[in-house]
């Protein structure tokens, strides 16, 4: 995520939490900032390292609790295949999300195609399965890396 996107994400988070009556505390705000400032998905312990560099006290529950709040609010996503977190690029609407993970540069883009989501719900329903939420992580080459050599 770019620096200006990061500032925009923080501003959006402020507004959303204000509107929802939830508390974006200093710690939660800082964790969101760390996640959004990272160009690539970042792990919980890497976030913790940054917090400690800040001079804060900190242990794993510190960061996991903040991340739980941010996940609930839809401000960050967790990538199950990487055990890492990224900022949501459009948090106003809660969504499962589909993620494009570049195997060359490590960047992650968010897709959020309703066609894909609905197609999955329908395909599941066709075999009697009632889909509630879905996790879609796509590995490949991003536009910038697409034509690079192996």
Question: What is the rounded distance in angstroms from the CA atom of residue 76 to the CA atom of residue 68?
Answer: 9
**Structure tokens that stand for 20 in this block:** 């929802």
Residue 60 sits in the site that holds its own copies (CB under 8 A): no
The answer to whether residue 120 forms part of the interface with its own copies (CB under 8 A) is yes
Instruction: Note whether 66 binds DNA by CB under 7 A.
Output: yes
With CB under 8 A as the contact rule, the residue among 19, 57, 93, 133 that binds its own copies is: 133
- 17 neighbors 23 (Cβ within 8 angstroms): yes
| Interaction of residue 26 with DNA, rule CB under 7 A | yes
Looking at 3-11, 57-65, 107-115, 139-147, which segment touches DNA (CB under 7 A)? 57-65
Q: Is 2 in the site for its own copies (CB under 8 A)?
A: no
Q: How far is the CB of 65 from Zn ion (least distance, A)?
A: 21
Long-range contacts of 61-67 (CB under 8 A, 24+ apart): 62/27, 63/31, 66/27, 66/28, 66/31, 67/31
Catalog residues that contact Zn ion under the rule CB under 5 A. 88, 97, 102, 104-105, 142, 145
């Amino acid at each position: 995520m770019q620096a200006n996107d990061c500032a925009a994400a923080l501003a959006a988070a402020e507004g959303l939490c204000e509107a929802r009556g939830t508390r974006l505390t200093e710690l939660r705000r800082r964790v969101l900032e760390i996640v959004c400032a990272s160009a690539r998905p970042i792990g919980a312990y890497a976030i913790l390292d940054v917090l400690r560099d800040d001079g804060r006290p900190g242990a794993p529950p510190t960061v996991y609790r903040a991340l739980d709040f941010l996940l609930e609010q839809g401000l960050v996503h967790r990538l199950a295949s990487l055990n890492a977190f990224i900022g949501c690029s459009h948090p106003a609407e809660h969504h499962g999300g589909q993620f494009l993970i570049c195997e060359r540069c490590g960047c992650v883009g968010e897709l959020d195609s309703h066609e894909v989501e609905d197609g999955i719900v329908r395909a599941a329903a066709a075999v009697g399965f009632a889909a509630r939420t879905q996790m879609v992580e796509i590995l490949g080459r991003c536009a910038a890396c697409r034509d690079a050599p192996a």
